[in-house]
Amino acid sequence: MDRLRGLVELTRPVNAIAAGVLTLIGAYVAGGIATESFQAGMAGAATVLAAGAGNTINDYFDREIDRINAPDRPIPRGAVTPREALIFSVVSFIVAIVLAFTLPTLAIAIAAVDLVALIAYTELFKGLPGVGNVVVACLGGSTFLFGGAAVAGNDLAMASSNLAVVGTLAVLAALSTITREIVKDVEDIVGDREEGLNTLPIAIGERASLSLALACTILTVLVSPLPYLLGTFGIAYLVVVIPADVILLLASVESFRDPTAAQSHIKYGMFLAAAAFVAGRAVPLSL
């Protein structure tokens, strides 16, 4: 049972399920979740499995760093062996790929790019200053694009229309994810330095990194009203997105004194921002 709990824990189930929910939000915002419910469900399930597999492979490669930064993780504490984690990740990736192949061509293409990025992240990108943060941010934003493409069929005109609707959501998610990833790098700086990684805080300093994260949040806040200003969504969107902006700003400022608490609060702001898009799609413009 401890091994089973360890395997589930490796996937970071809350984060993996959240990624699936974001994919479903992308499908909903694109307007196809009701008419293309099977494709939306397959996309959501594939995202959960791929995100879980990505988290697991990340722990596999990070097992030495985690002995310092997170000794209570399943591999460092001995609940799961590195080999078991690797096999579990590969199987999860395979099932996610099978599910993705039930989807339209554009969705498959997005899934393929994301899969390569997930596998390559820890070994190739994580230790490059800022590059790893951008990769993770693009993966976060792509969940919405994946959901939008999944319900578009193989009609390129419809797919383009769907992606245009969810595009702003993807950009906002990517920008806020960059902020959170930078703050997390500051939080993990001791273990990353011990392992010889050259993350952004190690390369340019903690305060400069947090200042860059704050700048990304400010840009997120400036971009967030666009769906309302362009007439895509009505006042319901604005009512929900403004509190999300406030949470993101306050958390980014908080990161200068408490990165651990801040990165958690940033996540709350990101989910509230996603809820704003749901509200914007649910409430007619005339209201």
Contact in structure between 34 and 98 (CB atoms under 8 Å) = no
Mean pLDDT of 15-22: 92
Rounded to an integer, the average pLDDT of 198-211 is: 92
pLDDT digits (tens, 9 = 90+) for 158-197: 666 667 778 888 898 899 999 999 999 998 888 778 777 7
* C-alpha 162, offset from chain centre: 20
Residue 49 has a pLDDT of 96
Tokens 């990353």 correspond to what residue? 192
**Which pLDDT band, with edges at 50, 70 and 90, does 287 fall under?**
very low
- Quick one: angle between helices 235-254 and 206-223, nearest 10? 170
pLDDT tens for each residue of 41-71: 999 999 999 999 989 998 898 888 788 878 8
Residue with tokens 């193989």: 154
Exposure string for 173-186, b = 16+ CB within 10 A, e = fewer: bbbbbbbbbbbbbb
- Give tens-digit pLDDT for 102-154: 999 989 999 999 888 877 876 777 777 888 889 989 988 999 999 988 988 76
Position 206 pLDDT exceeds 70: yes
First-to-last alpha carbon distance for the chain, in angstroms, is 52
**238 burial via Cβ count (<10 Å: 0-12, 13-18, 19+):** middle
Closest CA to 41 of 118, 102, 123, 126: 102
Give the per-residue pLDDT at 66: 82
Distance CA 179, CA 182 (A): 5
Phi then psi dihedrals of residue 199, to 5 deg: -75, 170
pLDDT more than 70, % of the chain: 95
Q: Domain limits of the chain?
A: 2-282
| Per-residue pLDDT at 45 | 96
The CATH number of 2-282 is 1.10.357.140
**Dist CA 215 CA 221 (whole Å):** 10
